[in-house]
Structure 1
Amino acid sequence: MAAIVGRSRPLVGITASIHGSRIAAMANRLALWRAGASSVRITADALFPIDRLDALVVGGGDDIDASLYGESARPQIRIDPERDRLEMRALDCAAKIGLPVLGICRGSQMINVHRGGSLHVDIHEVYEEAPHMRTVLPRKRIRIEPDSRLYRILGIGECRVNALHHQSVDRVGDGLRVVARERAGIVQGIEAPQEPFLIGVQWHPEYLVADSRQQALFRHLVATAAGTAPMDDYAEAPPPARGSVRASG
């Protein structure tokens, strides 16, 4: 059941940068369509009311302004302050109205920053033994905590993922839990156990189109938005379908 009356598919917003991110946004839109949702790309110059969405994907892209988590900016790092502000406001609204949220790469980091956490500005300054890897192919092995929602969704304790990042979660934000790491210790997955669906993954599942386990992240996001997710995907009982109290428009 769609969350807004008169809509056949849940509507999911995908945040992106004005400059770039189009390939990732297209891949996310395809993944969400296959999962049963419609989607809309949201940028600082193409806004959309967050309270009209049924779920939110905070997408990948440029680094987050280090001043948001108390670090000094690096001049060689490209940031997008307008997008930062957009996503902080979007996450504020999502938290207020209880939207399911999936954060991807930068989006996972933004979830952590929004909850008061911090980031490693450059993972290779901290994890010197970590391989320098940048690939859309699943080449990096990660381990997932067996008592996590991420584990229940993927159905596996270890998997290979892609790597397109040089930053990662450092201090974990309020109400969040680290649920996946790679061998070097770099955080690869976070979630909020007390929320119906608030998950961040450091990799890009939208590019792993042939991997049904990875695509399950989108299916479960959409199912949560529609109110059809299995009971054990919730911390408690699932919230009522929001379509019963919301008007079309």
Structure 2
Amino acid sequence: MAKPVIAITGPERGAFGPRLLVAVAVRWYGAKPLQIRPSDKIDTKIFDGVVITGGHDVDPVLYAAKSEVHPKYDPARDELEMTVINKAEAEALPLLGICRGAQLLNVSRGGSLFQQLTEQRQLTSKRWTVLPLKTLCLTEPDSRLQTILQTPKARINSLHNQAIDRLGKGLRVVGRDLDNIVQAVEDPDRDFVLGVQWHPEFLIFIRRQRHLFKALVERARQRQARD
């Protein structure tokens, strides 16, 4: 059987490090990474699973809100990744959204975002760090995320200033940080639709963080075998 192909989305330029690390992680577990950029034609791409990577803030126009901050948006990337998410949903492909990817998954389901988390943080640092210095609390013992991580709490990093506010249709919150900010969502009615607010690709030296990619690849392989 051919290796399952995992699409890895990102901007037209840049974000080389995170996308490389995601590619390393999916190769680790026997899949073939496929980098996809806004200039690519999605209808010509064939893949068995998807990773929506982190990056610039999601344009609030996608959830019918006015901009409260002035970051650098990337409309071409928004369009690409919404298309990829819709394709994954329509074809029941396993999907992992990382940071911005989790936010965009939520928006694609009709949810909204906090555009600035400064006022939401009371107990945790506002500092961005790739190191696992923050605490993830698993809120649903029967969740797919709990099954993957095999722990009620885990150490995570933080590289975001936005997060999920109103929850999208069909999603449930399965992880929060100590400030009760949403850190993970999943669709309990789908085979594998998971969004995490942290960056596990920077933590692949930690086995349970690698297992997020392992679980994605395994689901992609199972789906490939059924086709």
Give the TM interval when normalised to the shorter protein: over 0.9
* Shift of residue 201, structure 1, vs aligned partner: 0.4
**Structure-2 residue corresponding to 1:83:** 77
Give yes or no for the alignment of 1:38 onto 2:32: yes
Q: What are the residue-to-residue correspondences of 1:1-249 with 2, within 5 Å?
A: 1=1, 7=2, 9-49=3-43, 52-74=46-68, 76-145=70-139, 146-227=141-222, 241-243=223-225, 245=227
Instruction: Name structure 2 gaps, 5 residues minimum.
Output: none
The two structures have a TM-score, normalised by structure 2, of 0.95
Distance 1:203 1:50, change over 3 A: farther
Deviates more, 1:216-225 or 1:75-84: 75-84
SS at match of 1:193: coil
* Shift of residue 52, structure 1, vs aligned partner: 1.2
In 1, Cα distance between the equivalents of 2:48 and 2:175? 26
In 1, Cα distance between the equivalents of 2:26 and 2:58? 25
Q: Is the 8 A contact 2:10 2:36 kept in 1?
A: yes
* Counterpart code for 1:215: R
Q: Deviations over 1:12-52 (max 9, x none)?
A: 00010113211100010001100111111111023444761
Q: Is the 8 A contact 1:51 1:93 kept in 2?
A: no
Identity of aligned residues (%): 39
Q: Is the 8 A contact 1:58 1:107 kept in 2?
A: yes
Q: Which runs of 4+ in 1 moved over 2 A?
A: 46-51, 125-130, 241-245
Q: Deviations over 1:182-239 (max 9, x none)?
A: 0011110000000000000001111112111010000010000111xxxxxxxxxxxx
Q: Is the 8 A contact 1:50 1:94 kept in 2?
A: no
* Counterpart code for 2:35: R
Q: Deviations over 1:36-73 (max 9, x none)?
A: 11111111023444761100000000000011112112
Q: Is the 8 A contact 2:4 2:48 kept in 1?
A: yes
In 2, Cα distance between the equivalents of 1:119 and 1:19? 25
**CA RMSD, Structure 1 to Structure 2 (Å):** 1.5
Distance 1:14 1:202, change over 3 A: same
* Counterpart code for 1:162: N
Q: Deviations over 1:75-106 (max 9, x none)?
A: 62111001101111111111111100000010
* Shift of residue 126, structure 1, vs aligned partner: 3.3
SS at match of 1:52: coil
* Shift of residue 130, structure 1, vs aligned partner: 3.9
In 1, Cα distance between the equivalents of 2:24 and 2:179? 32
Q: Is the 8 A contact 1:142 1:188 kept in 2?
A: yes
In 2, Cα distance between the equivalents of 1:128 and 1:27? 32
Higher alpha-carbon Rg: 1
SS at match of 2:134: strand
Instruction: Name structure 1 gaps, 5 residues minimum.
Output: 2-6, 228-240
